[in-house]
Amino acid sequence: MTKELFLKELKAKLIKLPQTDRENAISFYTEYIDDALENGKTMEELEKALGKPDDVAAKIIADYSVNRAKEKPSLTNGFKALIAVLGVFAIPIAAPAAIAIVAIIFALLITVFSVAFSLIMAAFGLFVAVAAMLGVSIMLMFTDPLLGVASLGASMIASGILILLAYCFIKLASLMVTGTSFLIKKIFDKNRKEGVSA
Q: What is the CA 139 to chain-centroid distance, rounded?
A: 56
Which range, of 15-24, 73-82, 93-102, 157-166, averages the lowest pLDDT?
73-82
Answer for the pair 123, 165: CB distance below 8 angstroms, yes or no: yes
pTM for the full model?
0.42
12 has pLDDT over 50? yes
> Residue 87: pLDDT band by 50, 70, 90 thresholds?
low
User: What pLDDT sits at residue 114?
Assistant: 86
Q: What length does the chain have? A: 198
Q: Where are the alpha helices (DSSP H) in 14-74?
A: 19-38, 43-50, 53-71
Mean pLDDT calculated for residue range 106-119: 82
Q: How confident is the model at residue 86 (pLDDT cuts 50, 70, 90)?
A: low
What confidence score (pLDDT) does residue 197 get?
A: 46
